[in-house]
Amino acid sequence: MADATGNQTPDTPDSGEDDLRGRKVPELRDQAKEDGVSGTSGMRKDELVEAIVEAEEGSGDELDESSDDVGAGPDDGKIRTGPDTSKSLKYSQEITSPDEDPEREGRSLATTHHEVIKQWAETRGGRPATVDGTEHGDHLGVLRLDFTGETDKLRHVSWDEWFRTFDERQLNFIYQEQRKDGNQSTFFILESPNREDA
C-alpha cells in the first residue's frame, strides 16, 4: 500500500478556532468534555473555545495547572487572627502543611496554605471560581470553589487569581477532610478575622 499524502478525508476540515466559534454552546461543552476539560457548564463560549483549543493543542495550561505546586502563600499556612476571629476558627485544628492530618474524622480544620487548599479542592473535583456579577472593576468578586461544574452563576478563574484575592482579603480557609460518618466532605467557608478586609 503506497503512502498517501494530504488530507485523505476532504469532508472533515481541521477543528480550528473559527470552526469552534461557529458552534453552539451545548456542542462546545460536549466537545470540551470529550477533550477532558472539566467544569464546562460554568464556562462562557469564549472560555470554552479557548479551553478546547488548549486541550487539542496539548498545551493544556488548565490541565497542567493541577500538577503545579502553588506553595504555602505569604503566611506559611498559618491562620490569620484579628478582632472578628470567629469561634469556628478558634476551635479548628490549624493545618500548615500538606503533610498534616486531622486529629479525628469530622474535625474542623483551618489554613491559609495555598497547596493544602488546592490539593483539598482538586481531590474533590473543585475548581477556583468567582460569583459572576460580583466583581469590582478588575478585582474578583465573591470567591467560591466549584465542585459541580453545573452552575451558570460561577466563573472559573486561575488558582493564581484566586489566591491573590484570598491573600489580599486576609481570608482563612475553614474546612473538613471527612464528615463524622467518614465520607469525604466538601464543606468549607472563607472567613476574614478583620471584617473591613473582607
pLDDT tens for each residue of 141-198: 899 999 887 667 888 999 999 999 999 999 999 999 988 788 888 999 999 888 654 4
Specify whether the CB–CB gap between 89 and 193 falls below 8 A.
yes
pLDDT category at 69 given cuts 50, 70, 90 is low
- Which amino acid makes up residue 28? L
pTM: 0.62
In what side-by-side order are the strands of the sheet with 143-146? Answer: 143-146, 127-131, 154-156
Beta-bridge partners for 173: 111, 190
- 68 Cβ contact list (under 8 Å, min separation 6): none
